Structure 1
Amino acid sequence: MRCARCLIWPCRSCWSAATNVSSPTVASTTPPTAEPRRPCVAVALSGGRDSTALCHATVRAAQALGLRVVALHVHHGLQPEADDWVRHLQRQCGRWRRAGWPLRLRVARLTQRPPAGASIEAWARQQRHQMLARLAAEEGATLLLLAHHAQDQAETVLLQALRGAGAAGLAAMPASVVRGGLTWARPWLACSPDAIDHYVDRHGLSHIEDPSNRDPRFERNRLRVQVWPGLLAAFPDAEQALGTVARQAWQAAELIDEVAAADLATLRSPSDGLDQRAWLALSPARQRASLRRWLKEQGAGQASERFIERLLSELPRARSGRWPVDALCELRLYRGTLRLARLTPGNTAATDTALWPPTAPTACLVLPSGLGWVQLRAVEEGGLPWSRLAGSTWRPRGGGERFSLGPDRPARSLKQQFQALGVPAWQRQGPLLWSGEQLLWVPGLGVEARARAAAGEPQLSLRWSAEAPDAAAQQLE
């Protein structure tokens, strides 16, 4: 009997080696099927040549291994032939099931459409992966097989290189990765497409030809149709060589990430910021790696090479500063600590002025005229009297305002008080709370001394944020 490299798993040990996981286990949720509770393996089935061969090879071996197989098909609705493809898969899987093979077909239809200007390829891939993960969970599968082969891997390496990717990008597609308890495995990643062609011919398998696979609008198709044949003619071993590049890049990326994780353990500030002085003590390569990992951990995504280069150039000389990451967040440096801050989208800040003043404390209240958000809490001392909220208004800084930190301390300009208390520049832009011409409260400074509540008087504290409600609530708690 043929081994896993020849497209069939003859025994449980070969199955484990091919997928890099132990025998699949059954999830705790009950799958929507009346079949016996055998371990379940999911196969992503588009209906094309590669996925058809993988599904056929898997289901042939499943009976002897005590497995059941669920084929998962995502109907994107992007091709006029998509309904015909579903009918083809229903007929094909029906024949295999009648032959006694433990196979079930699940079809999911996407109802969304790509947003204007979005990459159709990227959108479809994201939606497909989300749907596959959901269907696998519903079926109780902990292993999902994908039919990518050696040429797919080589093409991915080339595309990533042309995009200027580093080691993580050049690592291309992993043979096995676990996400959310589901193992995504590519058992044929070292298999040539010729071997799959031989398998399809040998078993007389019919499959779908997706016309979009030759659409030159998509960069992978341009590479496959216009570049790949010439590359193979000039370099016959290109497929294997690029596969080796992917494996070596993966090893390098793993090492870089391990070093970055160790460095970050000593670089983080108590507030999960990045300590500038400790970071500057690292070598440039480790500065780059730790910065990338920290940004990713903070939710900033995969930073571009240009952005990283800018930070490496400017951070060593900066005492404070702000660097936009995207439309939703920016980096802020103040007093030696680098932090990531979320920004308020411009179309979410405006609100009805009737929301102020509040009638009771609230966790996070939107301010009128796009002035941000404020949290109010009842306190026992040092707060602002509830009675002063009636008729109070929020205004941007106009210049010339003076503020007193204590009853026996002189009133000084806001700039002087901010500097004395070390308030970061971006926290100095918040609105001021006024009652007529009496300044009541300033973000970063607190309640004006002459406006503080008397002992025993109902009072509250305020905290301001420019950020959206969810981010602001997290920071203010």
Structure 2
Amino acid sequence: MSRTPNSLTSDIRARLPERLPQRLGVAVSGGGDSVALMHLLAEIAADEGAELYAATVDHGLRPEAAEEAQIVARQAADLALKHDILKWQGWDGSGNLQDQARRARYALLAQWAHANSIPAIALGHTADDQAETVLMRLARSAGVTGLAAMPNSHVREGVTILRPMLGTTRHSLRDYLSDKGLNWIEDPSNQDKRFDRIKARKALADLSPLGVTPETLSRVASNLAQAREALDLFTQESARKVAVAIDGDVCVDRAAFQTLPAEIKRRLLIGILRWISGPGYPPRQSAVDQAVEALDNGEAGSLSGCLLVPQAANTWICREFQAVANLKARPAARWDERWILSGPGIDGFEIRALGEAGLASVPDWRATGRPRLVLQSSPAIWHGDELQAAPLAGFPNGCSAELAPEWSEFYASFLSH
């Protein structure tokens, strides 16, 4: 039996913020899930006095994509919604296409949201998508965090991503669209058995007689998400006891770190790496375990573009110089995505890593108490080959280095993933 439209609307509304933002975005590919979400959200937004904006990302990877985006535009117009088509032109033919397309999609949607003062965007992921994600991660021996799969909401690039249909099945949405006489586009990649997600979809159908359904796996993911939240809170409390953030780097008390449970050690280290180097896929568990062991033993190490630098009873975790050696930015622009340097008379100068050559020009760097390797990757102001300022290395010369305003506070970052 399919759910009634009122039931679907209630289920989706229950997974949205208690108070809708004045402006809410919805990403619509043209597939059945996102088209249904657009119609259901249009009803909810109208009832609550919110403005709904729709966007379609055209990856330009199929000849039909441009026309499909226009079809969505017409559907949005029928609902009197403002709609924009966001075109991706950034793929150079290298790397994992699906991964790059996914990253580009989120980046384009975030840019669109910021440009239109939209604080939150709803995506059309369903209970089926959640269940398929659980199966794929199970195949990779994922732990609690991986099997918790997709969260109902999280913040990405300053925009809240909402997934209000994680408790709703694809079948019920198709029934809803059919009952309303609405059309949707079938993506041919949904039949391509080369993709892991399509293999997981078939496996899920085969497991249905055992009671392993999208609804049950979605509930499993929800249960594990609660466990993940508890572990995140414990990790945050542990971070307050064993680690301190100093000028964008983190200093860990090794003796205190050694007393933590193994799972919390791993989570704490991954959280520190993410805070320093930015979001992205977490490193492989084997690499994390090796880094945890190095930290325990007071040994040097590297992981995710960061270094472990032992110093007496502590270990510093900082950016690896090689990860930022070629990064350049103008004053007041972000360097390494998180640093903003400013000061008088530096227009036309360049922000680069301090490096060994720059450090040699700062005779008092030891007074900072920070190891050489930590300071080498810190941001500095250069005029050609001449160092003008290195605020974090004890040579401010009237300049300052600040973390970008939206960069998470260190301890708060453990609850933001």
Report TM bin, short chain: 0.7 to 0.9
Per the alignment, residue 51 of structure 1 pairs with 34
Change (3 A) 1:283 1:329: closer
Distance in 2, matches of 1:221 and 1:259, equals 36
- What SS does the corresponding residue of 2:18 show, helix, strand or coil? coil
* Aligned partners of 1:147 and 1:187 also within 8 Å: yes
* Aligned partners of 2:24 and 2:50 also within 8 Å: yes
Distance in 2, matches of 1:366 and 1:308, equals 26
Per the alignment, residue 450 of structure 1 pairs with none
1:87 Cα deviation after fit: 2.5
Per the alignment, residue 390 of structure 1 pairs with none
Select the residue among 239, 255, 259 that pairs with 1:277. 255
Distance in 2, matches of 1:304 and 1:211, equals 32
Change (3 A) 1:373 1:241: same
Is 1:77–2:60 an aligned residue pair?
yes
- What SS does the corresponding residue of 1:263 show, helix, strand or coil? helix
Distance in 1, matches of 2:289 and 2:102, equals 30
- Equivalent AA in structure 1 for residue 148 of structure 2: A
Distance in 2, matches of 1:334 and 1:193, equals 54
Select the residue among 135, 154, 157 that pairs with 1:177. 154
Distance in 1, matches of 2:318 and 2:49, equals 52
**TM, length-normalised to structure 1:** 0.65
Change (3 A) 1:197 1:465: closer
Select the residue among 302, 306, 309 that pairs with 1:332. 309
Is 1:205–2:182 an aligned residue pair?
yes
Distance in 2, matches of 1:249 and 1:469, equals 40
- Equivalent AA in structure 1 for residue 273 of structure 2: L
Per the alignment, residue 393 of structure 2 pairs with 476
Distance in 2, matches of 1:346 and 1:270, equals 20
Per the alignment, residue 102 of structure 1 pairs with 80
Distance in 2, matches of 1:466 and 1:219, equals 42
Per the alignment, residue 231 of structure 1 pairs with 207
* Aligned partners of 1:329 and 1:342 also within 8 Å: yes
1:220 Cα deviation after fit: 1.1
- Equivalent AA in structure 2 for residue 374 of structure 1: L
- Higher Cα radius of gyration: 1
Change (3 A) 1:193 1:263: same
1:307 Cα deviation after fit: 1.9
1:130 Cα deviation after fit: 1.5
- What SS does the corresponding residue of 2:141 show, helix, strand or coil? coil
Per the alignment, residue 29 of structure 1 pairs with none
Distance in 2, matches of 1:365 and 1:60, equals 51
Higher relative contact order (CA 8 A, sep 6+): 2
1:235 Cα deviation after fit: 2.1
Change (3 A) 1:371 1:58: closer
Q: Report 1:346-425 matches (<5 A).
A: 372-374=357-359, 376=361
1:90 Cα deviation after fit: 3.0
1:299 Cα deviation after fit: 2.7
Is 1:125–2:102 an aligned residue pair?
yes
- Equivalent AA in structure 1 for residue 87 of structure 2: R
Distance in 2, matches of 1:159 and 1:240, equals 16
Distance in 2, matches of 1:67 and 1:347, equals 43
Distance in 1, matches of 2:144 and 2:33, equals 28
1:365 Cα deviation after fit: 8.5
* Aligned partners of 1:49 and 1:207 also within 8 Å: yes
* Aligned partners of 2:245 and 2:251 also within 8 Å: yes
- What SS does the corresponding residue of 1:130 show, helix, strand or coil? helix
1:276 Cα deviation after fit: 0.7
Change (3 A) 1:244 1:474: farther
1:372 Cα deviation after fit: 4.2
1:270 Cα deviation after fit: 7.1
* Aligned partners of 1:366 and 1:374 also within 8 Å: no
* Aligned partners of 1:215 and 1:221 also within 8 Å: yes
Per the alignment, residue 288 of structure 2 pairs with 308
Is 1:136–2:130 an aligned residue pair?
no
* Aligned partners of 1:373 and 1:469 also within 8 Å: no
- What SS does the corresponding residue of 1:184 show, helix, strand or coil? strand
**TM, length-normalised to structure 2:** 0.74
- Equivalent AA in structure 2 for residue 207 of structure 1: W
1:181 Cα deviation after fit: 5.6
- What SS does the corresponding residue of 1:298 show, helix, strand or coil? helix
Change (3 A) 1:156 1:277: same
Is 1:22–2:19 an aligned residue pair?
yes
- Equivalent AA in structure 1 for residue 39 of structure 2: H
- Equivalent AA in structure 2 for residue 373 of structure 1: G
- What SS does the corresponding residue of 1:141 show, helix, strand or coil? coil
What is the alpha-carbon root mean square deviation over aligned residues? 3.6
Is 1:252–2:218 an aligned residue pair?
no
Distance in 2, matches of 1:149 and 1:4, equals 16
Q: Report 1:151-166 matches (<5 A).
A: 151-166=128-143
1:61 Cα deviation after fit: 4.3
* Aligned partners of 2:32 and 2:177 also within 8 Å: yes
- What SS does the corresponding residue of 1:308 show, helix, strand or coil? helix
Distance in 2, matches of 1:192 and 1:240, equals 7
Distance in 2, matches of 1:237 and 1:164, equals 18
- What SS does the corresponding residue of 1:241 show, helix, strand or coil? helix
1:466 Cα deviation after fit: 4.5
1:139 Cα deviation after fit: 2.7
1:423 Cα deviation after fit: 10
Select the residue among 190, 214, 218 that pairs with 1:243. 218
1:188 Cα deviation after fit: 1.7
Per the alignment, residue 9 of structure 2 pairs with 8
- Equivalent AA in structure 1 for residue 199 of structure 2: R
1:330 Cα deviation after fit: 2.2
Distance in 2, matches of 1:91 and 1:363, equals 47
Change (3 A) 1:214 1:201: same
- Equivalent AA in structure 2 for residue 136 of structure 1: A
Distance in 2, matches of 1:347 and 1:277, equals 30
